Structure 1
Amino acid sequence: MIDQSENSDDRSIERALSLLPGVDQVSFFSRDRIVYLRVNEEEFDRGALRDIEGLVDSAD
């Protein structure tokens, strides 16, 4: 059975990542805890990526 709150959290993560400057596409695979981002390198802030990695690490 699929946990509805988990699906809601997944969508929230996808939405939050898609709002980052320079992010063109987000693919989030919660089961495997993998996130793929397609970004515009000229607009993407690599510092934001480090912040995201820190948030994910702290969630473990």
Structure 2
Amino acid sequence: MQYCSNAYVQLLLTSHISISMTEKSDPYENAVAERINGLLKDEFNLVRTFQNIQ
């Protein structure tokens, strides 16, 4: 997995960019999160762009 490679992690760290990975570094956790996000977008019609908070 390239997102876990030393070169990539070092690039993020030297650029002061937060590393976004799951708590236990389990790549399969992301699939669950993406599935939930997809369901929420479908159920609440969140695929559209909002002009403001209202």
If the length of structure 2 is used for normalisation, what is the TM-score? 0.35
The one of the two structures with greater contact order (alpha-carbon pairs below 8 A, sep at least 6) is 1
Which structure has the highest helix share of the two? 2
If the length of structure 1 is used for normalisation, what is the TM-score? 0.32
Q: Which structure's CA Rg is the greater one?
A: 2
